[in-house]
Structure 1
Amino acid sequence: MQARSTGNLVDRKVGLEGFKFPWPFPKSPSSFHKIKSHLTIAAVASISKLLFAPGLNKLVVHNKQRFMDYWKDKSRPLITVSNHRSNIDDPLMWSFISTKEMWENIDRHRYTLAAHNICFTKAVHTTFFALGRCVPCVRGEGVYQKGMDFCVEMLNQNGWVHMFPEGRVSTEPLRCKWGIGRLIEDAAAPPIVLPIWCINMSSVWPTQPPYYPRFGHEVNVHIGEAFDSKSVLDEMASKKDWSVLKRRKFITDAIQTELFKLGEKVADLPSGTAKRILEENVNENL
């Protein structure tokens, strides 16, 4: 599909260099590549768990079985979306997955977009993050960049893609980027969308330097109700006159509302936040 200039104008003005390395994901991964990837995923997961070892910090997950059921169900593509309050929400947020559960389902571990100018600045970093299933995302290149295309391909294989739809770390809720709308509309089968809300993650890994772990804190990970994207796609089916941008925003707004309503439900956002952000970002020109 032809690339389109749909990136954020502010991002484009920064003048960042695009992704400069060969694409790190082979079209047909060899057995050796899969082994390296699995070992990288397992190693990162094990290190992340150390931060929540007894006596250091406490991780409390709510509705874990709901997540496990959808993770194990390979009949539909899965998209998880979460708020983004710490630089390393991912991988820390997945520390509730036991080592046994990880190895049993490692073939379907998540792919997630990661900033190219942070995670992919050197060849060795590119190899490492790609083996850990982090996908380069170039700010300003829009929703039709290669990393997004790759995520659609993974969804078309009924894989799992995790998104931070707000687009960056922030202490306040932000309007969700439209990339999530593109993934849902372009996937071959309507994905299941599972919202997740993390509370207090920045207390164990701060967003400002010095960057080192803190101890004595409790982090809560709330797994919300699943959202079947087929419902919103069916609702759009009769909107033949809608532009691509309007369709994409409609889908994104639906996911954004589900995510922020979860934040309200777990008392981390003030009541009415989801509605307020929706009303503040009405665009009649699409």
Structure 2
Amino acid sequence: MNKQILWMYRGRELVTNSHSLVPCSSRSFGSFLFGKVRILRFNRWLQRRETGTQVDKAAALEGFRFPWPFPEKPSRFYNMVSYLTLGTVASVSKLLFVRVANELVVHNKERFMNIWMDRSRPLITISNHRSNIDDPLMWSFITTPEMCRNIDRHRYTLAAHNICFTKPLHTRFFSLGRCVPCVRGEGVYQKGMDFCVDKLNENGWVHMFPEGRVTMEPLRFKWGVGRLVEDTVIPPVILPIWCTNMSSVWPIDPPYYPRFGHRVDIHIGEVLDSKVILDELSVKNGWSVAKRRKFITDVLQTELFKLGEAVGNLTKGDRRSFDAQIVHFRFFL
């Protein structure tokens, strides 16, 4: 007698039963194998569901396993391939926001464009993180001509090493798309952070998700953004951005595929001048490096969560603005 595996989902437990079938060797054996495959796929789905994102394919403590993917002096050919990768990813992202798919509305776009095209100072953008692919989807409001004119100043962004950099091919692709490996747990002085500081010192643009992971609730900012502000030679311009409803276009839970018929709003906040923050720190003579970094991080956290409250996507009082009382000054350009 052959057996067929039945499965059902009860309280995150896979229940299997068996019952007799009419003997039919080839068909029953095929059904048996098919059932085994379904169970394996189901268990993987449960594992992804527990993390709320993609399965970590490398141990978190293993670190970045490949040679550093960014050349010290990029050749013309490397830059050309990198620009082609950035342009291709941007074009594919725009497909999710064509007329019959989803609607993308950007607020205060001219503010972003003015800062992006001003190459006299480095630029740091910070935003909430509500979808696995907020970046690159959030930059779909940049038109193709605008992208082509300023592609050499397109953003660098930190990406989890155990999600985006698990294979040599993935490492090559994401690095050409200006994603920088970030190893959780290695602190603010890891190589990826050093690389971002170098790019800011070249008056480049670095985008960060300071909450550190995809989350539907506000989280305390990681201190890496504080290091970027303090260690850059020229005080950077900081631009907070708040994205709403992005997870309805690309969900955070499996199955991972695009959804249609939704509206996504991108809110560009007020431009912040980090020079004012650093001037405030200059009178704090007895403060340690860690305390200074925490001060900067708390200021930026407060400003981004205020933007979330202003657009109505974050309930007032839920932003967990730790030590927000230290910030009572305005520092807009």
TM-score if structure 2 supplies the norm length?
0.79
2: CA distance between counterparts of 1:235 and 1:75?
Answer: 23
**Structure 2: 5+ residue stretches without partners:** 1-58, 327-333
- Compute the displacement of 1:55 (Å): 1.0
- Structure 1: which amino acid aligns with 2:66? F
Percent sequence identity is: 71
Which one has a bigger Cα radius of gyration? 2
Q: 1:217 maps to what in 2?
A: 262
CA RMSD of aligned residues (A): 1.4
Corresponding pairs, count: 268
Deviations 1:144-170 (A, max 9, x none): 000000000000000000000000000
The answer to whether 1:78 aligns with 2:123 is yes
Distance in 1 (CA, whole Å) between partners of 2:81 and 2:156 is 15
Residue 198 (structure 1) aligns with: 243
Distance 2:198 2:321 in 1: 31
- Alpha-carbon distance in 1 for matches of 2:60, 2:128: 27
Alpha-carbon deviation of 1:278? 1.4
Q: What letter matches 2:322 in structure 1?
A: L
Match of 1:240 in 2: 285
Aligned partners of 2:298 and 2:321 also within 8 Å: no
Which one of 270, 274, 278 corresponds to residue 322 of structure 2? Answer: 278
Q: What is the TM-score when the length of structure 1 is the normalising length?
A: 0.92
Q: CA deviation at 1:272?
A: 3.2
Post-superposition Cα deviations, 1:77-121, rounded to whole Å, max 9, x if no partner, equal 000000000000000000000000000000000000000000000
Whole-angstrom distance in 1 between the partners of 2:142 and 2:283: 41
1:271 offset after TM fit, Å? 1.9
Match of 1:107 in 2: 152
1:264 touches 1:273 (CA, 8 Å); kept in 2?
no
CA distance in structure 2 between the partners assigned to 1:272 and 1:15 by the alignment: 33
Partner of residue 299, structure 2: 254
Match for 2:91 among 40, 46, 57? 46
Q: Give the corresponding residue for 2:273.
A: 228
Contact 2:248 2:259 in 1 (8 A): yes
Query: How many Å separate the matches in 1 of 2:316 and 2:190?
Result: 36
Alignment of 1:1-286 (within 5 A): 16-274=61-319, 276-279=320-323
| SS of 2:226 mapped into structure 1 | helix
Q: CA deviation at 1:22?
A: 0.6
Greater relative contact order, per chain length (Cα 8 Å cut-off, separation 6+)? 1
Q: Give SS of 1:51's match.
A: helix
Alpha-carbon distance in 1 for matches of 2:77, 2:151: 15
